[in-house]
Amino acid sequence: MLQAKNKQFRIITPYDAQRSLIEEGLKLQELDWEDKCFNVDSFQGNEEDYIVISLVRSTALGFLADLRRTNVMLTRCKKGMIICTSQKFMKRAGCNSLVGSLLEYYEHEWIEKDELERIAV
């Protein structure tokens, strides 16, 4: 979606395995993948117009318990941010995190994955 609209974006995830999986998915879809996907620590000090944050957790906060690193992740965008996560996780274990607070504030902005393709950025 962002690439098709020639938007400048980067993808950030706290997990290296997830970063690798996302890169492989971009390659398989024949999308630009080089210099697109980063773990949070390697992206610190950088920013981009649009940031896609990939947060996949099931039961524990993990990375989201680290306020400093979470703050880095959430402050890298200039124009917009898309957070990909599980609404179920964020309403349970993630609700007391900084991301949980942000998503609670923007609760009316939740979009299911099949709706995302229809949104114009």
In a domain, 75, yes or no: yes
- 16-71 tens-digit pLDDT: 888 999 999 999 999 988 999 999 889 989 999 999 999 876 677 888 888 888 88
Alpha carbon separation from 78 to 29, 53, 74, 93, 112 (Å, rounded): 26, 14, 11, 29, 24
Does 121 map to a domain?
no
CATH of the domain at 95: 3.40.50.300
Q: How many domains does the chain have?
A: 1
94 part of a folded domain: yes
pLDDT in tens, 69-116: 888 889 999 999 988 888 888 888 888 888 888 888 887 777 776 666
Q: Is residue 42 part of a domain?
A: yes
Of 31, 39, 36, whose CA–CA distance to 1 is shortest? Answer: 31
More confident residue, 117 or 110: 110
- Which domain covers residue 17, as residue numbers? 9-111
Whether residue 29 lies inside any domain: the answer is yes
